[in-house]
Structure formats: C-alpha cells, structure tokens
Amino acid sequence: MIEIDRFFVICNRYCMRKSFILILIIFFSISFTAHAAGVVINEIGWMGTVVSASDEWVELYNASASAVDLTGWTLSFFKPATTSPSKIISLSGTIFSGGYYLIERTDDTTISDVAADIFTAFGTGLVDSGMILRLADNSSVVDSSPELCDNKWCAGLVSPETSMERISPLADGSIASNWATNNGQKINGKNAAGNSINGTPKSENSVYVSGSNNVPPSPPPPNQEGHTTSETNELSNLPSQSSSAMPETFKVYAGEDKTVLAGQETVFSGKVADLKGKQIDNARFLWNFGDGSTSGIRVTSHTFLFPGKYIVNLNASIAEESHADYLNVEVLTPKIIISEAKPGQDGFIELQNETGQKLDIGGLIIKDASGGVFSVPQSTILDKNALLVFPNAIMQIFYKTADLTLVTSNGRVVDSAHFEGVLDVEESFAREGSEFIKISAPSPGNLNTKIVQQSLADDSGRKELSVKTEVVIKTKEVKPESSELKDSSLLIGNITAKDTAKEEKMPDVSIVVSEQLPDSQTAAPIVLNSQSRFLINSKLLLGASILVGILGAVGFFILRSLGRL
C-alpha cells in the first residue's frame, strides 16, 4: 500500500491524475487490441498425407478487412522448451481480406489440386511429437499455435491423417481449446495420388465458428457443412425476405454481380448497415453460393468448380431480426492465354481475354519454371478480347527465359507457354497458334506484329541468306460468276516473276519478301528451278497449239470462200 500511495504522489506531482489514468487506459487498450483479427495460423497438416508423412502443409487466413503484404513476414517452427527455431520460412506475396495462404513442403504436389502460394523446405519437418508455430511480421510475433497438449499436438491425427484446424480466427491461437481435429464432414483438396485428404486447405475449416472472440467449450455439431448451427439454418435463404412482425432496423448488402472463372478463388464481401448507412459489426452471416457450399464469414472466398449462372445469397441476422440480399455470379470456362512474353528485368508477360466478356481475373497465378510465382491481385479486371500486361519488375518473376504456366487458385491449368532459343535485346516471344515465335518488334498491350526470322537458299544448296520476312496477306472478293484468269506476283528484291493460273473463288494473295544483307554482299540472282521451267514450257506449247489452231481455222474459211473446198 505504501508503494501504491507513493506511486500516486508521483503522478500527482508531475501530471493530473485523471490524465495519467486516461493514458494508462489507452495504453492497455492498445496492448489488448494488438491481437485483433489479422493474419493468423489457421490450419496445420503436421501429419502429412497417406501418400507421404513428409507431405506437410500450413494454411494462413486473413481475418482483417484489408489485404496484407507478407513481405518481411516469417513462419517459424519451434521444438518444445526451445527458444531457437528449427526452421524459419520467409513469406512473400499478398493475402487478401478473407483469403487463404497455403504453404506446402518441398513442392506443389502435396495438395495436388490446390495451388500453393509458396512451397519450400521444412527442414526436419513438423515432427509428430509436437511443435509450436509462430507467425511474425518483421520479427514481431502476431500469432502462435498452442504449446503441447499431453506432450503432443493439441489436435489432428497421425492415422488416419487428419488436419489440425482453428475454430475461431478471432480468438487467441495460443489457446489449446481454439483448435480441433477436422470432423470429416467438410473436406477439401487431394493428395499427390489424387485422393481426398482429411483437411480443408484454402477452404473454410470444418470446425469454424464465426462472430466471437470467445472460444466455445467444444466445437458445434456438424450441421450443414460442419459449421452452421440449427439456429442459423432457420434463417431464410430467399432474397429480400425479412422476419415477420418486426420493424426493419438494418439492411444487408451482398455486393455487385460478378463474372468469374471456373476453378478460380473469388472473394465475397458482405455488409450490414443501419438505416442511416452506418456499418454494423455484430451481425451473424450466412452465405449460400448456390452450388451446395456455404460460409459463415462476412468476408469469405469461394471457388466455383463448373461453369454456369449462380445466385449467391447472403443472409444476416442480429438477435431475432434477419434480412437477405443476393448477387448473380456467372462462371465461365477459363479462356485466358499468354499472348506475348519477354524475360528479364525490363520484360513483361501479356495476357489476353478470349471469352468475349469482361472478367475479374484476380487470384490467377503465373508461374515460371525457375520457381517464380505471381498471384494476380484481386479485382483485376480484364475487358473482353483485351490485353493486359504485367511487368516482370513488379511481379518479380521471369527474370530469365523459362516456360510459363497460368493456373487458377485450385491448380487448374489455364494456359502454358514453351519458349525456345535466346532473344536479342529488342526481341520478344509472341504466340502463333499453340507455339511461340521470336518477333523483332515487341508490342506489349498491342496486337503482335508478324516479323519473324527465316532463311532462303538456292537449288544447289549454296550459302543460306539470313533475311527478315514480313508476310502480308490480302484478300480480294471474287464474283461467283467470274472465271477470269488471276495474276499473282512474287516480288523478291528487284526481280519479279509472273505466273498466270486459272482460279475459282480464290483470294488474291500477295507475298512480299524483303532482304537485309550486309553491305559487303550482293543478292545472288534467282535461278528458276526445273519445275518452274517445265510450267513455262508447257504454257508456251499450249499457246503455240492454240495459235496454230486459230490460223488453221482462218485458212479453212478463206479457202472455202474462194470455192476451193
């Protein structure tokens, strides 16, 4: 008591008591809210899969209202009663609000149908006897898994291999009761052999409970996808339906209509506001995506596996009052191609939308064969039949020539690009059908120019001449009743060879070839081959025959007119 009195005497001497207490309140408020919802460790596949015990994985979840840049973040593994981590994993990229971040051990085949955000070595791995995981933002720990429970992991099973799931992302992750074993009612993902795993990587946990910072004493019963209670099930799924005999005190907003890609993770963000438009945070949410899936998070994500038109319903309730809103989602088959690419620091990757509809391509993943991974930011819009260019300096991938793959968030391959050869400084790779060719005039954001590398040689196999060939194809409409002879010209340098042939309803094709030779060389004359000489001789013979026939007919009529025949 004496020490306390002395403490307040000092406070009174140097500051007003009320101000000091207010400062203390603010300080402790900041301290206790430091663990507010943010990026958390959400699921741990410490046991591996039935294919391999080394096929381990960890999932993060962003429970905040905004995207988080993970540059400088680390995930560390600690053995019990140690202060030095056995493994530190450096993170990169962005995790969007309501989004997931998957870390797989060694390669991206651990969860074969779900794309990892990063795959790396786990050192000695997540040992079955238990470890502690800590997530840090620039050395400041923001989340942790619990200490061991009876000298083992607090949840999860070695056999059958079943993941350890977080119950509430809003509650403290270091509390053992905030974790549970996947209940088997809701699973997602396949192992390296293509079989289902007992976990939910990049999907809502089977034991998830929303809307509270308090950890429930036990997981809720697995009613409808393992997370929805019977009370929530009574909420209406009909759009704009309200509770009867109750005045409306709030409105629900599900967001704007969307056009997305099949297999692509899409973020959905709901909102509840009072009649004056002020946001309300204590509502309970239930999304129904129209394909059998639901979610109880205000900001959530979902992947539609098949094309179609879906009505996504959002129902929200506060106490006994509930209201709903909905949005239309059109899901398309992915038709996005890699149209042009240039490796290097000043290079780029160009994508083209071939669907004919405006698309949100956020979440698509571009990978290069050297291990680089770039996730397209959410709400990135690509207009119909349009091009979109991503600089390598921003993506931080594709610094050297390497094959590219474009995949959806669940690992579905949308397009791939294979490159051969080495580019000059002013060249790039452009798509031509299913292959890529070198072009001497890179055109990011514009249609590709068809200037390619080719070669010419004469009949006797003399030295090849390296040329740049510009191919221009022009079509001219031919009237159906016309049978006139068409004239096609082949112009090479200053030499013109004309060839006449009968055509029926065929386009007039003009091919122009221009040579570029060193000053010390001159173009060798073009020598007609045997086939060309044969065609010319045949036409001369035909012309001569026709001429003889005409002269004979004229002579016949002259003689007849003279009365000699």
Query: H/E element holding 544?
Result: helix 530-561
Does 516 or 273 have the greater pLDDT score?
273
**Percent of the chain having pLDDT more than 70?**
70
- What type of residue is 380? T
What pLDDT, on the 0 to 100 scale, is given for residue 520?
Answer: 41
The CA R_g of the chain, rounded to the nearest whole Å, is 36
Compute the average pLDDT of residues 520-535. Answer: 46
Tokens of 438: 């070198």
- What pLDDT, in 10s, does the model give residues 330-377? 999 989 999 999 999 999 999 999 988 898 898 899 999 988 999 898
Answer yes or no: are the C-beta atoms of 317 and 246 closer than 8 Å. Answer: no
465-470 and 485-492 beta bridge pairing: unpaired
What pLDDT, on the 0 to 100 scale, is given for residue 189?
Answer: 93
Answer yes or no: are the C-beta atoms of 119 and 89 closer than 8 Å. Answer: no
Answer yes or no: are the C-beta atoms of 349 and 388 closer than 8 Å. Answer: no
Q: Which residues contact 108 (CB under 8 A, 6 or more apart)?
A: 115, 116, 119, 411
pLDDT band at 430 (very low <50, low <70, confident <90, very high): very high
- What pLDDT, in 10s, does the model give residues 61-83? 998 888 899 999 999 999 988 88
pLDDT band at 238 (very low <50, low <70, confident <90, very high): very low
Tokens of 215: 């950890």
Q: How far from each other are the two terminal CA atoms of the chain, in whole angstroms?
A: 154
Answer yes or no: are the C-beta atoms of 45 and 53 closer than 8 Å. Answer: no
Per-residue burial over 334-347, b if 16 or more Cβ lie within 10 Å, else e, is: bebbbbbbbbeeeb
Please tell me whether the peptide bond between 160 and the residue prior to it is cis, using omega within 30 degrees of 0: yes
Cα separations in angstroms, 263 against 35, 185, 201, 359: 33, 22, 15, 14
Give yes or no for residue 32 having a pLDDT over 50.
no
Compute the average pLDDT of residues 515-522. Answer: 42
pLDDT band at 429 (very low <50, low <70, confident <90, very high): very high
Give the residue extent of every domain in the chain: 2-33, 37-227, 249-332, 336-449, 468-478+485-513
CATH fold of 37-227, please? Answer: Immunoglobulin-like (2.60.40)
CA-CA distance, 245 to 235, in Å (whole number)? 15
321-332 and 258-261 beta bridge pairing: parallel
What's the residue count for the chain?
565
What pLDDT, on the 0 to 100 scale, is given for residue 406?
Answer: 95
pLDDT band at 264 (very low <50, low <70, confident <90, very high): confident
pTM, full prediction:
0.41
Torsion of CA 307, 311, 314, 315, to 10 degrees: -130
3-state secondary structure of 233: helix
Q: Which residues contact 533 (CB under 8 A, 6 or more apart)?
A: none
- What pLDDT, in 10s, does the model give residues 460-480? 333 333 333 333 333 334 444
CA-CA distance, 183 to 110, in Å (whole number)? 21
- What pLDDT, in 10s, does the model give residues 128-154? 999 999 999 986 889 999 988 988 999
- What pLDDT, in 10s, does the model give residues 190-204? 999 999 999 999 999
CA-CA distance, 559 to 110, in Å (whole number)? 99
37-227 and 336-449 share one CATH topology? yes
Give yes or no for residue 91 having a pLDDT over 90.
yes
What pLDDT, on the 0 to 100 scale, is given for residue 243?
Answer: 38
Does 85 or 4 have the greater pLDDT score?
85
- Candidate from 28-32, 103-107, 255-259 with smallest mean pLDDT: 28-32
- Candidate from 92-96, 222-226, 409-413 with smallest mean pLDDT: 222-226
Does 171 or 209 have the greater pLDDT score?
171
Provide CATH code, domain 336-449.
2.60.40
Kindly state the DSSP code that residue 137 receives in the 8-state scheme.
Answer: E
What is the rounded average pLDDT for all residues in the chain?
A: 76
CATH fold of 249-332, please? Answer: Immunoglobulin-like (2.60.40)
**Percent of the chain having pLDDT more than 90?**
45
